[in-house]
């Protein structure tokens, strides 16, 4: 790019311009590599200020409109807009972090700023900061636990956790239990960082003394001020049933392809109870399981079979964690965990997004002129999400990868409008999956004319005859020149070439169509023949021209 800029400066003959172009080239290269980073809290009003892009980039406001500056967000929804009159980047609407980035600790929105003339691409990021706008919520306002009166102190009983859509310090931080003589609360943290809680029996229960207890469970977040949610925990003291169900495994781990059909068996959980009668009959149910997992998987209460009942999507969630509760007829229960890992399959074709297109380029454009800029993305993962791009191989264009899956379509050879006036270029994006998926995008490019062809006469010498004593302004023939260019570059104008020291010629030529006229009557005894030179010039700037000889023979 440097040598092309310097060569452009040398052709212009302007050393000062050469230096300026070089500096612009360096700036373009540097700005294309930097990333602008900003942040703003969620739930700000529509058209809220994000940043002064013009000030941060050091770009004059007049250049924003002149270079067609615009902002493009990643994904299908455009969340920001650029005010070209002020250079300010604004949020197009109020941003809800929990809606944009659900189940994510950080929420970063990526956008690109595009300039034209020359083409420039700058990457930007906006972090949407969480505010404490959600209180912890229990999925059930009342939890019922049936506990044997013979349960030993120290026994633990899992409770449903609360959910808080906020993150960080604004997320769920602590639980508390209302004062009571029998139970305390134990809070733990799983390997994935999620807090879980258990009810711990501190003092022996006695059904005959008290058959039911009601406790208030409170979940609190760390916001300022903090928000909280509550649920009732109802303890039903159960008479003696001396065996609880026992699962054959504590954790069931399953791997499942995302294109698994409906009703496919995922796993069968099994718990046994040596008691007789209804005390040995086990029923299964989900507990501490998200609503989304309950929509995708169904648990048979009798057999313990878990089957697929929804459409799995690796791109939505790579894993699902469920807890199954086994309860016997005496209301004693046990728990096991089911962890389903969703395997990616190649079910998404690459997507081509055209960012910038030069619809018309001059035929004298140098090789490697940028015609279009586009991006390719594939929502699959691994080789299924890895893509490659290609274009028609027999055309004078080639693809150049830039960064972040962006490609430039450039010319790779000299163009000639007179040979080919337009191109329909097909871009093909293909992924690397075993069953390869692809998509295509057509780019139409017109080649504009430059004045690179002079007019051409159909003959080098035109011979025309006239009988003496002719009428004035007699038409005796036509000279014809054609030009392969288009528009005004192909418009031919005819003139006589005046020669110094010679008399005024006896002929005239129509400037538009080349018709030749004899101006006055001729006398064979005085002039038997004469020659003049005719020039045909096109309408280009500067014009190109050609010449031919007109020979006029006078008959007696």
pLDDT tens for each residue of 447-477: 888 988 999 999 999 999 999 999 999 999 9
Q: Is 465 in contact with 555 (CB distance < 8 Å)?
A: yes
- Dihedral sign (CA 17, 18, 23, 28): positive
Render 207-220 in DSSP notation, one character per residue. TTT-SEEEEEEEEE
Least confident of 18-27, 187-196, 327-336: 18-27
Model confidence band, residue 103 (pLDDT cutoffs 50, 70, 90): low
Q: Is 242 in contact with 150 (CB distance < 8 Å)?
A: yes
Strand runs labelled E in 161-296: 162-163, 172-177, 183-189, 195-201, 212-221, 228-238, 246-247, 251-257, 265-268, 271-272, 283-287
Instruction: Please tell me the predicted confidence (pLDDT) of residue 313.
Output: 85
Extents of the domains making up the chain: 36-129, 142-238, 246-343, 351-448, 456-554
CATH fold label, 36-129: Immunoglobulin-like (2.60.40)
Checking if the pLDDT of 265 tops 70, the result is yes
Instruction: Please tell me the predicted confidence (pLDDT) of residue 177.
Output: 93
Instruction: Please tell me the predicted confidence (pLDDT) of residue 165.
Output: 83
Torsion of CA 289, 293, 299, 304, to 10 degrees: -70
Homologous superfamily (CATH) of 351-448 is Cadherins (2.60.40.60)
**Residue 225, both tokens:** 């001020």
Checking if the pLDDT of 332 tops 80, the result is yes
Report the top-level CATH class of 246-343. Answer: mainly beta
Task: Look at the pTM and tell me if it is higher than 0.75.
Answer: no
Instruction: Give, in order, the Cα–Cα distances in Å from 249 to each of 210, 267, 272, 477.
Output: 35, 12, 11, 106
Q: Where is pLDDT greater, at 100 or 298?
A: 298
Domain 456-554 has CATH 2.60.40.60: yes
Task: Say whether 246-343 and 36-129 share the same fold.
Answer: yes
Mean pLDDT of 276-284: 85
Residues 6 or more apart whose CB falls under 8 angstroms from that of 476 comprise: 464, 465, 466, 516, 517, 518, 552
Rounded (5°) CA angle 74-43-92? 45
Strand runs labelled E in 312-421: 319-327, 333-343, 351-357, 360-362, 370-377, 387-391, 397-401, 406-411
pLDDT tens for each residue of 143-163: 999 998 888 999 999 998 888
What is the CATH number assigned to the segment(s) 142-238? 2.60.40.60
Instruction: Please tell me the predicted confidence (pLDDT) of residue 405.
Output: 85
pLDDT tens for each residue of 474-502: 999 999 999 998 989 999 999 999 887 67
Per DSSP, what are the bridge partners of residue 430? 388, 438
Instruction: Please tell me the predicted confidence (pLDDT) of residue 179.
Output: 93
Distance CA 382, CA 189 (A): 31
Distance CA 90, CA 39 (A): 12
pLDDT tens for each residue of 9-23: 444 444 444 444 444
**Edge-to-edge, what's the strand order for the sheet holding 283-287?**
251-257, 333-343, 319-327, 283-287
Where is mean pLDDT largest: 191-205, 335-349, 482-496? 482-496
pLDDT tens for each residue of 344-387: 877 778 888 888 888 888 988 898 889 888 888 887 777 787 88
């Amino acid at each position: 790019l440097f040598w092309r800029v310097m060569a452009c400066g040398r052709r212009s003959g302007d050393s000062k311009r050469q230096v300026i172009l070089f500096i612009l080239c360096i700036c373009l290269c540097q700005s294309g590599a930097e990333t602008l980073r900003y942040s703003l809290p969620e739930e700000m009003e529509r058209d809220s200020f994000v940043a002064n892009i013009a000030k941060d980039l050091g770009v004059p406001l007049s250049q924003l409109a002149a270079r067609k500056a615009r902002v493009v967000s990643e994904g299908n929804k455009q969340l920001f807009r650029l005010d070209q009159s002020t250079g300010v980047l604004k949020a197009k609407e109020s941003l809800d972090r929990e809606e944009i980035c659900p189940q994510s600790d950080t929420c970063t929105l990526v956008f690109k700023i595009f300039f034209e003339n020359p083409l420039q691409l700058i990457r930007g990021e906006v972090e949407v900061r969480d505010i404490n706008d959600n209180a912890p919520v229990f999925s059930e306002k009342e939890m019922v636990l049936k506990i044997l009166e013979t349960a030993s102190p120290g026994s633990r009983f899992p409770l449903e956790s609360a959910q808080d859509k906020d993150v960080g310090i604004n997320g769920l931080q602590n639980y508390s239990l209302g004062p009571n003589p029998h139970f305390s609360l134990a809070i733990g943290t799983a390997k994935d960082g999620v807090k879980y809680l258990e009810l711990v029996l501190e003092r022996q229960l006695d059904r005959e003394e008290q058959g039911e207890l009601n406790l208030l469970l409170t979940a609190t977040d760390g916001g300022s001020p903090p928000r909280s949610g509550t649920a009732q925990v109802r303890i039903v003291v159960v008479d003696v049933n001396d065996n609880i169900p026992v699962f054959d495994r504590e954790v069931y781990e399953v791997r499942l392809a995302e294109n698994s059909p409906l009703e496919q068996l995922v796993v069968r959980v099994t718990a046994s109870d040596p008691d007789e009668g209804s005390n040995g009959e086990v029923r299964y149910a989900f507990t501490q399981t998200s609503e989304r997992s309950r929509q995708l998987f169904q648990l048979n209460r009798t057999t313990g079979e878990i089957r697929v009942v929804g459409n799995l999507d690796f791109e939505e969630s790579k894993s699902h964690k469920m807890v199954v509760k086994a309860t016997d007829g005496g209301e004693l229960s046990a728990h096991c965990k089911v962890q389903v890992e969703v395997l990616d399959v190649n079910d998404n074709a690459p997507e081509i997004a055209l960012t910038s297109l030069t619809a018309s380029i001059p035929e004298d454009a140098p090789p490697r002129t940028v015609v279009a800029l586009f991006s390719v993305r594939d929502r699959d993962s691994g080789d299924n999400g890895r893509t490659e791009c290609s274009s028609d191989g027999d055309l004078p264009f080639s693809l150049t990868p830039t960064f972040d899956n962006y490609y430039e379509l450039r010319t790779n050879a000299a163009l000639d409008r007179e040979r080919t006036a337009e191109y329909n270029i097909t871009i093909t994006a293909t992924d690397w999956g075993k069953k390869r998926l692809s998509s295509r995008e057509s780019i139409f490019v017109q080649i504009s004319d430059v004045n690179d062809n002079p007019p051409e006469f159909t003959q080098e010498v035109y011979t025309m005859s006239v009988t003496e004593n002719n009428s004035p302004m007699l038409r005796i023939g036509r000279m014809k020149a054609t030009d392969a260019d288009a528009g005004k570059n192909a418009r031919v104008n005819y003139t006589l070439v005046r020669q110094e020291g010679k008399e005024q010629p006896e002929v005239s030529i129509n400037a538009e169509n080349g018709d030749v006229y004899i101006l006055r009557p001729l006398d064979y005894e005085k002039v038997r023949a004469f020659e003049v030179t005719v020039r045909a010039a096109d309408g280009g700037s500067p014009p190109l021209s050609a010449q031919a000889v007109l020979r006029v023979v006078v008959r007696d």
